Amino acid sequence: MSTISTETIATVKSTIPFLQEHGIKLTEHFYKRLFAGNPEVKKYFNSANQEAGAQQRALGSAICAFAQNIETPENLAPAVSRISNKHASLGILPEHYPVVGEHLLGSIDDLLDPAPPEVLEAWGEAYGFLADVMINAEKEIYAKQESQKGGWTGFRKMEVFKREHESKWITSFYLRPSDPCPVIPFKPGQYITVRIPTADGSTTMRNYSLSGSPNWDHYRISVKREVPRHADTPEGYVSSYLHTKVSVGDGIEIGPPCGDFFLGDHSPEAPVLLISGGVGLTPLLSMLHGTGSNPTTFIHAAIDGENHALRDEVEAIAEKVSNVEVHFRYSAPSNEDIRDANHHSSGLISNDFLSDFITPDTQIYFCGPKPMMRHIYKCLDEIGHPKSQTHFEFFGPQEELES
Ligand code: FAD
């Protein structure tokens, strides 16, 4: 693999203040330029994330982090793993990198109006280095997906053979191949990609964590219908499509399991704490199915009983497996929840609440709505829990939890 020259490192580092101040402006400009110049790549991006600015913020922080760690690229390994998995889930190929590189350098040039030649040269070299790292990481993922029993790359037609209503807004879809071949038994915590046609004749893709346990036969995803947050915004495209247009017997296209959020190889005594909020329970429920001998606590936060999905399944696991404990926490329990004792505690997740479930050797996995994740991250930081024992998944473009 190529290395980055000392001059390039110095020049890229000299652009850090610019990136810190104008990173978002740069990435906003970049996406506009990319979609205008190469509209064929639009299908790889979620327009709702673009609209919300989440994709621009995520890319802005990633570029800045790359510049800050250019001398110590090993620090970027977790980000490379997460992003290459995400890219592989969407089918990103080596030929996409020069297109992105052209618009990234073009955007730096446009914003600096014009950029000094040494800055463009340095960023060209640095981007080439990063592109090589990503291409190789993605190549490895594709090769592994293809070579596994039941494996494939690209998109494969699945038949929905069962639909299950799990809560007010969450429905599970059971998917098995339309061909007679098996499927890859994923690692609990991983996700697949669903590809759906759009009105303009293109397609759009979304990731969905697999919510069941690994097997050779089928997958289960559990999808929350995203209703509009405001009267003038559309409802979530793919989740509504699945909820309203996909019935038992219908076919949908999916990509193979991806993702690096799965249970690590912990010692059998290490306590495992799985914390989920809302539909964020999907990867954690899958992990709960596969916790093995580790003493495991599953905390699920929901608004109330009506919004609490897959409760029976979690309780059945806890009943069957002696080392599993569950705790349901509702932020706004209904009178019925209180009467029927549907939950173990009420309120938001707090330091005091979490402390009761954590020892210094606990391995913590969490996933949920962004405000809850930020809050848990802050609580764990205040408790002083080691970051190396804290693992999480975001249901959207990665944004800094610290901010
Ligand atoms: P989108 O069309 O993407 O819209 C998202 C939100 O933006 C909606 O609230 C919508 O109303 C709003 N919106 C859309 N367009 C606009 C606009 N023009 N202006 C303003 N607002 C707008 N989800 C699950 O339900 N279950 C899972 O197990 C799951 N696992 C995931 C795993 C991973 C690794 C990731 C990254 C995500 C996961 N998600 C999961 C989230 C899922 O991928 C989708 O993001 C989610 O279903 C919403 O997609 P959508 O197409 O329905 O909504």
Judge if 134 and 163 occupy the same domain.
Answer: no
In a domain, 131, yes or no: yes
Same domain, 30 and 110: yes
State which of 198, 221, 254 marks the end of a domain. 254
Alpha helices in 6-53 (DSSP H): 6-14, 16-37, 47-52
Angle at 106 between CA 101 and CA 108, to 5 degrees: 100
Burial class (CB in 10 A: 0-12, 13-18, 19+), 221: buried
Pocket of ligand 1 contains residue 369 by CB under 6 Å = no
Catalytic option among 31, 97, 127, 174: 97
Query: Can you give the residue range of the structural domain that contains 209?
Result: 156-254
* pLDDT average, residue stretch 183-196: 97
Best substitution site from 83, 173, 206 to test ligand 1's pocket, by max atoms within 8 Å of Cβ? 206
Residues 277 and 315 in one domain: yes
279 Cβ closer than 6 Å to some ligand 1 atom: yes
Q: How many residues does the chain have?
A: 403
Residues 105, 191, single domain; the answer is no
At 346, list the tokens. 């009420």
Query: Do residues 92 and 125 both lie within one domain?
Result: yes
Residue 119 lies in a domain: yes
Q: Are 86 and 258 in contact (CB under 8 A)?
A: yes
At 308-328, the pLDDT tens digits run 999 999 999 999 999 999 999
pLDDT tens by residue, 205-252 = 999 999 999 999 999 999 999 998 888 889 999 999 999 999 999 999
Site to probe by mutation for ligand 1, drawn from 45, 85, 167, 207 as the one with most ligand atoms within 8 Å of Cβ, is 207
What residues contact 336, with CB distance under 8 A and at least 6 apart?
305, 342
Residue 148 burial class via C-beta count within 10 angstroms: exposed 0-12, middle 13-18, buried 19 and up: middle
Burial class of residue 336 (count of CB atoms within 10 Å of its CB; 0-12, 13-18, 19+): exposed
Q: Tell whether 392 is covered by a domain.
A: yes
Protein residue closest via CA to atom 33 of ligand 1: 395
Q: Which amino acid is at 80?
A: V
Is the pLDDT reported for residue 403 higher than 70? Answer: no
Cα 328 from Cα 348, distance rounded (Å): 11
Six-digit token pair at 138? Answer: 């993605």
**pLDDT attached to residue 3:** 85
User: What count of other Cβ atoms lies within 10 Å of the Cβ of residue 98?
Assistant: 12
Given 28, 125, 138, 393, the catalytic residue: 138
90 in the same domain as 22: yes
3-class SS at 256? strand
> Tell me: the pLDDT tens digits for 285-299?
999 998 878 999 999
Tell me how many domains the chain contains: 3
264 found inside a domain: no
| CB 100 near ligand 1, within 6 Å | no
Rounded CA-CA distance 317/296 in Å is 11
pLDDT at 31: 97
> Token pair for residue 9?
């490192």
Report, as an integer, the average pLDDT of 247-270: 96
Determine how many CB atoms are found less than 10 A away from the CB of residue 365. 25
For residues 230 and 348, membership in a common domain is answered with no
Is 262 domain-assigned? no
Q: Is any atom of ligand 1 closer than 6 Å to the C-beta of 285? A: no
Ligand 1 pocket, residue 395 CB under 6 Å: yes
97 is catalytic: yes
> In this predicted model, what pLDDT tens digit does every residue of 25-42 receive, in sequence order?
999 999 999 999 999 999
The secondary structure of 193-251 as a DSSP string is: EEEEE-TTS-EEEEEEEB-S---SS-EEEEEE----SSTTSPPPHHHHHHHHH--TT-E
User: Given 190, 223, 254, which residue is the final one in a domain?
Assistant: 254
User: For residue 164, is it within any domain?
Assistant: yes
Residues 142 and 195 in one domain: no
Instruction: Tell me if 266 is assigned to some domain.
Output: no
Structure token digits, residue 339: 């009467």
Same domain for 321 and 381, yes or no, is yes
- Asked whether the predicted pLDDT for residue 401 surpasses 80, the reply is no
Residues 142 and 180 in one domain: no
What does the pLDDT look like over 338-369, one tens digit per residue? 999 999 999 999 989 999 999 999 999 999 99
Neighbour-count burial of 17, counting CB atoms closer than 10 A to its CB (0-12 exposed, 13-18 middle, 19+ buried): exposed
Same domain for 250 and 280, yes or no, is: no
| 118, 147, 176 - which closes a domain | 147
The SS3 call for residue 291 is coil
166 is catalytic: no
Q: Where are the alpha helices (DSSP H) in 299-369?
A: 311-320, 335-340, 351-355
User: Is residue 229 lining ligand 1, measured as CB closer than 6 Å?
Assistant: yes
Domain match, 65 and 169 both? no
Distance from the first to the final alpha carbon of the chain? 34
Report the half-sphere exposure of 183 (CA within 13 A, side-chain side): 26
